[in-house]
Amino acid sequence: MAYGDLGAVVDTLTYHGFRSLCNEVVHVVDDIFAVSFREGMDQNYVRTFSIDSLGQVSDAYIDSILHDVNVSSDNNRLAKLTDSLYAIATNNQLYQPKITTIEILPNGQITDTVLDTCAFDLVTGFPAKLQKCGPGMLAMTSVGWSEEQGWLHTIKVYPDGSIEPAIVDALQFETGSCYEPWLEEIHPGTWAIAYQREHIYGQVKTFSISAAGIIYPSQLDSLEFEPGGMMYPSMAKAHGDFVAIGYSMVPNGGKLSIVEIGQGGAITDTVIDSYLFDPGESGRINTYHIAAGYIGVAYTNAAAHGVLKTFFVDENGSLNDTTIDTLEYDTAESQYQHVVHVTGDVWAVTYFTTGPSGKVASFGLETPPEPRGPKDLMRGIYS
């Protein structure tokens, strides 16, 4: 097999037997993983399961916590602060962003009660992405309700899980319509937000966020990466300054665009390359980094099946209109996909499928080793 080649599905687990939305997954520690999802009505869960180095998934989920019964949107977001401390962003019924913290132990057991919860009554909006941006610090993008404006907030969480009730910093990055603003750290302290603008154009903007949660007073740079109709952007670093943005075209098509973002947040004035990897209907694309130069996407195709594709971004930022490999990981309906690396050549995808149910599937993906330094290379020779 060559780098980027996809193997078969290894194992699966249904971790929820009813409708599950969002299905964000993070690695906890060793072979333990956690998934956050919203049940069909208004209940929000986190559940843990294990996947070993061969891709075998535990026969049942390990533990579960029902941490919220009054969420108002599908957009539950999960972020890891430490190996044991996790934060979830939801909404209360007043459409105010809400952060909840929980503890997950190394064996996958979840502390029976939440550590803290805090709704921010000075703002309203639906959380779009939650990321750690410094020790005990969260960065969250949200879409304002009901004006649908784009916001970036930072929030402090203490080591015991208690949440600072005041927002650390805030910046309104879009005054018009804004949907699905995906947040990603591109270089240390330099962040990018890709989102759907009014009239469904694709926009990417860069910002500086310090480890203390201070947002630079204005955006660093901006680029319209898609002048046509698009939805559901997601973003991952390819290598160096090259960033891949995957999204659904309107009315049809799954597309990748490569943009170049420098250390200081400057964006090259034009898209470096783009590739329509699926000409049919392509829903909710999840773009993820595999290794230096290698990018993957998970999405729903026109038949509503779950699909994985892999790509290579060369030293010039070109995709060369080439897909390395394709795998249909579920031939039933698949939505709300999120991909996570397990170990070595083993990866996993969480998603909602018919049944209805929340499900995880492990699969093989020939993964290049990350670059190592001279000391690591010598240790490999002499140990």
Task: Find all residues with CB under 8 Å of 300, minimum gap 6, and list them.
Answer: 281, 282, 283, 284, 306, 307, 333, 334, 335, 337
pLDDT at 306 over 80: yes
The answer to whether 147 and 223 have CB atoms below 8 angstroms apart is no
More confident residue, 180 or 47: 47
β-partners of residue 309 are 297, 326
pLDDT at res. 380: 34
Which amino acid is residue 54, in one-letter code?
L
Give domain status of residue 22, yes or no.
Answer: yes
pLDDT at res. 379: 31
Give domain status of residue 131, yes or no.
Answer: yes
pLDDT at res. 341: 98
pLDDT at res. 344: 97
The answer to whether 299 and 286 have CB atoms below 8 angstroms apart is yes
Of 43-52, 124-133, 142-151, 360-369, the poorest mean pLDDT is in: 142-151
Domains identified in the chain, total number: 1
More confident residue, 382 or 60: 60
**Tokens at residue 123, please?**
């703002």
| pLDDT mean over 28-45 | 91
Q: Give the position of tokens 């993008």.
A: 141
pLDDT at res. 376: 39
pLDDT at 346 over 90: yes
Domain of 108 in residue numbering reads as: 6-382
pLDDT at res. 171: 94
Which amino acid is residue 225, in one-letter code?
F
**What are residue 129's phi and psi, to 5 degrees?**
-155, 140
Mean pLDDT for the chain? Answer: 92
pLDDT at res. 375: 41
Give domain status of residue 1, yes or no.
Answer: no
Nearest to 348 by CA among 356, 358, 359: 359
Of 88-97, 253-262, 359-368, the poorest mean pLDDT is in: 88-97
Q: Give the position of tokens 């030293």.
A: 315
Give domain status of residue 232, yes or no.
Answer: yes
Sheet architecture: strand order including 126-134: 126-134, 137-143, 150-156, 169-174
**Tokens at residue 259, please?**
């943009």
CATH code, domain with 113:
2.130.10.10
pLDDT at res. 72: 61
The answer to whether 311 and 322 have CB atoms below 8 angstroms apart is yes
Contacts within 8 Å (CB) and 24+ apart, 43-46: 43/68, 43/69, 43/71, 44/68, 44/69, 44/71, 44/76, 44/88, 44/90, 45/16, 46/78, 46/86, 46/88, 46/102, 46/104, 46/110
Q: How confident is the model at residue 36 (pLDDT cuts 50, 70, 90)?
A: very high
Give domain status of residue 112, yes or no.
Answer: yes
Give domain status of residue 308, yes or no.
Answer: yes
Q: Give the position of tokens 């000391």.
A: 375
